[in-house]
Amino acid sequence: MSQAETFDRVKKVVVDQLGVEADTIKPQSTFIDDLGADSLDIVELVMAFEEEFDIEIPDESAEKILSVQDAVDYINSKAAASA
């Protein structure tokens, strides 16, 4: 899966979970500061990423996913490892 495909799918999850406009989501957007997520939103986002991409994200990894690009990079690394 390409970076662009992963970004588009991550963006869709973020729109669904946070109710933000798709055009406000950039790779560098942080979930808390830029997109207005709180700690519960972050937990729900991680669960939604796990479901969307059929992966497991351990808590220690989830704590490091602070931006949209962090999510894309992590998901692509998991996909590459399982390929």
Give the separation between CA 32 and CA 42, rounded to whole angstroms.
8
- Quote the percentage of the chain above a pLDDT of 70: 99
Catalytic residues: 38
For residues 72-79, give the mean pLDDT.
95
Give the separation between CA 32 and CA 82, rounded to whole angstroms.
29
- Residue spans per domain, the chain: 3-82
| Topology (CATH level 3) of domain 3-82 | 1.10.1200
Report pLDDT for 2: 92
pTM: 0.94
